[in-house]
Amino acid sequence: MEGIILESVSKTFRHRPALFNWLGREQRGETRALTSVSLTVSAGTVLVLLGPNGSGKTTLLKLVSTMLLPDHGWISVNGADTRKQAGKVRQNVGFAVVTERSFFPRLTARENLEFFAALDDVARKCRKQQVETILQQVGLSHAADRLVMKFSSGMWQRLGIARALLKNPSVILLDEPTRSLDPGSATQFFDLVRTLAAQGAAVILATHSFQEALAVGDFVAVLDHGRLSAFRSLSALQQEEKLRSFYFESTGDFEESAQLVSRGA
Amino acid sequence: MTLGSLIDKTIAILRRDLLIAVRYRSGFVITAAGSLAQLAAFYYLARAVGPSFRPDGLDYFPFVLVGTGLFSFLISGMNSFVQIVQEAQQAGTLEILMSTSTPGPVLLFLSALSALTGHTLRLLFYLGAGLFLFGVSARTLNIASCLTILGLSIMSAMSIGIVAAAVQLAIHKGSAVLWLFSSASWLTTGALFPLTALPGPVRAVAQWIPLTHSLQGMRSALLQGARLPSLLPEISVLALFSLVLLPSSLWLFSWTLRRARLQGTLSYY
């Protein structure tokens, strides 16, 4: 099937203290990042992931991208299993990560993108044109030949989005893509995501912004402490206030939120 | 992966490394100055030792020139594998690089190949400067033997480098392991003095280190004009090391990479 399927996916991170732990206070333990999460994102749709910090949003994206492998359950990307056919999955997935530290600072934006395009098997004859088009799409044409170590946070973020789109992926993963973008650039970005979905891409976008969710999403999934606590079509939640209520109900923070509102916070 | 795609990726990696190296301009000058200073130190050490000391029938300066040059080259080559993983961990590029369509071991291999190109230029500069500036004769040089020993030495060094990269991926201390290995090898492989100066048990251990055979073979080929048949013992041992170590090390790296993906430690450093 085209798109993304997660079936009973669980992921736990185990912490082992250092060898001479009596020198510090590091604790042994484990973090259950995801517990038995099942969901489907069809081709041509945008799923928005909402959830508090540490709820498992980034872990879920990393699992789909094969950066991580699940402990239990399975994930399929366009019919390929992320465990057994990781190479095939990587050919189809573009991932815009939230971190700024994922480029070569002493290369220009164009050089960085050309390098990653080569690693991602973008055909040599159309590589330059592809890089040019993507730079234009994310509004970085004017800074294409600037060393990326001189970029602002927003420019890093746009470059990350550009890299994710380089190979025309059929699955796009976006981790807080507009966190550092100005409102104008964010609006342009929303249009770009809608266009990509209309062209048939399956998109998962993790965010904390209700406005962003409503602007781009077809469906919303709420993660809370690694569990999928709610899943709904966004057509039923057209207003920001409705989505906000839905989110706080799903995370169990509704009363707390209501108290804050009544206190005028 | 097709050959065309492999060449394309190799060019992309070489271009990236060249561009970064050019933008750290001072690096070239510092490296060249360091090599010349090291050569001068060994030259005057050889003069101080005097002409009567002839290890393996060679003058001491050429002996130490080839020994230190090749030793540093091979250790730097091994170190490049660790550095590639370490720098990517610290720069935050490792997760992204390992999620591209290029398999992790291939990416590591190509990146190290690019680094080795730089180290080869440095080795040529070091040996060239030693031979010409300090008047060492290389009239007996046997090119076929030199290239055979060099090729096999690089393969065995790559294997050790890939193991160290796997250690870096697993416990983030690959450079410490390699430092331990290089310190022990400095003593045991005969880079600075002949193996006959060492006690019997240490000499026996030295035979299990590929570098020992690389240094012996290269000195014979470069300074004594040894032909391939007479280098058969060194060639056989180095070929055996490469044959066993190279696939094992690639398997180990793939296994460690998969383990890091399972444990979620790929981005740790």
Cα separation of B141 and A37, whole Å?
67
A164-168, A234-238, B125-129, range with greatest mean pLDDT? A164-168
The per-residue pLDDT of chain A, averaged, comes to: 89
Enumerate long-range contacts of A233-238, CB under 8 Å, 24 or more apart: A234/A48, A238/A214
What is the rounded distance in angstroms from the CA atom of residue B241 to the CA atom of residue B229? 19
Decide: B21 and B117 in contact? Cβ < 8 Å.
no
Beta sheet of A3-15, edge-to-edge order: A29-42, A3-15, A72-77, A80-81
Query: End-to-end CA distance of chain A, in Å?
Result: 47
Provide the pLDDT for residue A261. Answer: 54
Query: pLDDT band for position B114 (50/70/90)?
Result: confident
Please state, in angstroms and as integers, the Cα–Cα distance from residue B95 to each residue in A66, A97, A131, B124, B265, following that order.
10, 10, 22, 35, 10
Instruction: Label residue B66 exposed, middle or buried (CB < 10 Å: 0-12, 13-18, 19+).
Output: buried
CB contact under 8 A, B93 and A104: yes
Distance CA B30, CA B223 (A): 29
pLDDT at B200 over 50: yes
Q: What residues of chain B lie within 8 A of the CB of A101, using their CB?
A: 91-93
**Alpha helices (H) along chain A:** 57-65, 86-92, 109-119, 124-137, 153-165, 183-198, 210-216, 240-251, 254-262
Q: Which of B8, B13, B258 sits opposite A124 (nearest CB)?
A: B8
* A172: β partners: A94, A203
Gap between the Cα atoms of A25 and B240, Å rounded: 48
CA-nearest of A97, A227, A169, A6 to B267 is A97
Is pLDDT above 70 for A62?
yes
A252 burial via Cβ count (<10 Å: 0-12, 13-18, 19+) = exposed
Phi, psi of A39 (to 5 degrees): -160, 165
A116 in contact with chain B, both atoms CB, cutoff 8 A: yes
Residue B236's Cβ-side half-sphere holds a number of Cα atoms within 13 Å equal to: 6
Give Cβ neighbours of residue A108 (< 8 Å, ≥ 6 apart).
A144, A145, A146, A147, A148
Count Cβ atoms below 10 Å from residue B47 Cβ, excluding itself: 11
Contact B221, B149 (CB under 8 A): yes
Distance between CA atoms of B69 and B215, rounded to whole angstroms? 10
State whether A97 and B95 contact (CB < 8 Å): yes
Chain B contact for A87 (CB, 8 A cutoff): yes
Contact (CB, 8 A) for A128 and A136: no
Q: What is the pLDDT of residue A7?
A: 96
Task: Convert chain B into a string of H (helix), E (strand) and C (coil).
Answer: CCHHHHHHHHHHHHHHHHHHHHHCCHHHHHHHHHHHHHHHHHHHHHHHHCCCCCHHHCCHHHHHHHHHHHHHHHHHHHHHHHHHHHHHHHHCCHHHHCCCCCCHHHHHHHHHHHHHHHHHHHHHHHHHHHHHHCCCCCCCCCHHHHHHHHHHHHHHHHHHHHHHHHHHHHHCCHHHHHHHHHHHHHHHCCCCCCHHHCCHHHHHHHCCCHHHHHHHHHHHHHHCCCCHHHHHHHHHHHHHHHHHHHHHHHHHHHHHHHHHHHHCCCCCC
Identify the three-state secondary structure at position A36.
strand
Query: For A3-24, what is the mean pLDDT?
Result: 81
Instruction: Give the rounded percent of residues in chain A with a pLDDT score beyond 90.
Output: 72
Return the structure tokens found at A224. 């809370």
Mean pLDDT of A86-103: 87
Question: Could you report the predicted ipTM of this complex, rounded to two decimals?
Answer: 0.84
- Provide the pLDDT for residue A121: 92
pLDDT tens sequence across B223-260: 888 999 999 999 999 999 999 999 999 999 999 999 99
Instruction: List the single residue in A67, A101, A111 with the smallest CB-CB distance to B19.
Output: A111
Packing angle, helices B232-263 and B104-133, rounded to 10: 140
Q: Please give the pLDDT value at position B235.
A: 96
**Contact check, Cβ <8 Å, B261/A66:** yes
A265 falls in which pLDDT band (50, 70, 90)? very low
Torsion of Cα atoms, B15 then A93 then A226 then B258, to 10°:
-60
The pLDDT-based confidence of A254 (bands split at 50, 70, 90) is low
Cα–Cα distance measured from residue A170 to residue A190, given in angstroms and rounded to the nearest whole number: 17
Which residues does residue A103 pair with via DSSP β-bridges, in sequence order?
none
Cβ–Cβ gap A120/B93 under 8 Å? no
The C-alpha atoms of residue B205 and residue B107 are separated, in whole angstroms, by 33
**pLDDT-derived band at A28, boundaries 50, 70, 90:** confident
Q: Which two tokens stand for residue A68?
A: 């991580």
Backbone CA torsion sign across B103, B107, B108, B109? positive
**Mutation target vs A (from B24, B96, B106; most A CBs, 10 A cutoff):** B96
Distance from CA of A87 to the nearest CA of B (A): 6
In whole angstroms, give the CA distance from residue B68 to residue B39: 9
> What is the Cα–Cα distance from A180 to A184, expressed in whole angstroms?
12
Most A-contacting residue of B6, B18, B101 (CB-CB within 10 A), to test interface: B101
Domains of chain A from N-terminus onward: 3-236 (3.40.50.300)
How many angstroms away from the CA of A155 is the closest CA of chain B? 17
pLDDT, tens digit (0-9, with 9 covering 90-100), for A176-224? 988 888 898 899 899 999 999 999 999 999 999 999 999 999 999 999 9
Question: Exposed, middle or buried, B269 (CB in 10 Å: 0-12/13-18/19+)?
Answer: middle
Using CA atoms, how far apart are residues B230 and B220, in angstroms rounded to an integer? 9
Instruction: Write the CB contacts of A151 (distance below 8 Å, at least 6 apart in sequence).
Output: A109, A143, A159
